[in-house]
Chains A and B, each alone.
Chain A
Amino acid sequence: MGGINIYKRIYLLFATPLIPVVLAAYYLGGPAAGALLAVVGVILGVAVYRMSPKVLLRWYGARKMSRETYTFIYPYLAKISSDLDVPMPQPYVFDSAAPITFTVGNNNRYYLLVSTASLDMLDKDELKSIITLEVTKVSKGSVGANTVVALLAGSIASLSTVALWMAMLTGFGQEDDPAPRTISFLAMGMVSLPSALLVHIFTIDSTVEADRMAAGMMAEPCLLAEALERTGTYIKLHVTGGFNPGHAHLFSVNPLKTNTIFDVYSSMFLTKPDIRQRVMYLENIKKVNP
């Protein structure tokens, strides 16, 4: 899939489930039914693609970042977007104990989501380096496809949470009891495979290129390495999951961990290079271009 361009990838994403459904409708209901379903499918596909960034903003309960509180972010975003000749992403903030940052959007409207933990933990320069990294992802053109895949893969993966809640509500016990956890584990076994395949087939991982480009744009490339290292270490030591694995490809640092057997499905969603490799790579850039 590496050679397929972004738009072909998105068409393929929606056409793959639509074609068999349209053929079945054609077989069962004739040409009119097939044509009707094809039109409905195309309209639905366009709607899902266009609405995916807004849905993800709501999913994370993101709110617009205030210009007064974070005074340096708006001018810095405007500068870096203008340098890269891309539309300026609108900065949003969301509540999370994990220092994660990501960008969603399509059709020249992009949204930069920064968690409250990132704002608290990273200093001004480190935050700037992470913002640069996110804007370079926009310039690489990978954000549109990754956003819609995050919505679809995330929705599929969250069906296991539905199974967990149904098990709890039907009297199988509490969240940490063996029965609901086993039901959730089996449900995750069913939903994580298609969800992970969606992520692997249709997303575009531009991590290495974006790291290199962002480091090249910074006055001090080591700041990005430091920010990534701090974020990765914090997540490793202090964050205890709670991420939708279908969204992991969006984040600047992979937050998924496999600590227990119940987390084993997270390992199917690893698309980013290890944080140590990324840091080492950035430090080598610094040595080559001191």
Chain B
Amino acid sequence: MFALITDIYNALQHWQKALLFSFVSYAMLLFGIIVAITFILKDFNFLVVTGLTFIYMSTLFVGILVARKMFKKRLIEE
């Protein structure tokens, strides 16, 4: 399994790796937002967190796909 992940990672170009790390960074921001919301509401509200996660991750996914399309078209690869 790890070998497969390593192979896929190594097959990626630099800009694709950058896009992947950007995706991870934004996903980590969502974790911070969920923690903040839980502190503000003083309780873990499953419905609110699920709804927020769905909207946030959908927007992020669409954003990353748009960025990927744009980079593929305009980026000069090394």
Contact = CB atoms under 8 A, between A and B. Distances in A.
Contacts of A185: 21
A267 B16 CA distance: 9
B25 A189 contact: yes
Nearest to B75: A270
Nearest to A186: B25
Contact of B18 (A186, A187, A267): A267
A192 B74 CA distance: 16
Interface in A240-290: 258, 261, 264-265, 267-268, 270-274
Contacts, number: 66
Interface residues of B, number: 22
A186 B15 contact: no
Contacts of B70: 197, 200-201
Could you say which interface size class chain A belongs to?
Answer: 20 to 34
A190 B22 contact: yes
Contacts of B18: 189, 192, 264-265, 267-268
Interface of B: 13-15, 17-19, 21-22, 24-26, 28-29, 63, 67, 70-71, 74-78
8 contacts: A186-B25, A201-B70, A261-B17, A267-B15, A270-B75, A270-B76, A271-B76, A274-B76
Interface of A: 185-190, 192-193, 196-197, 200-201, 258, 261, 264-265, 267-268, 270-274
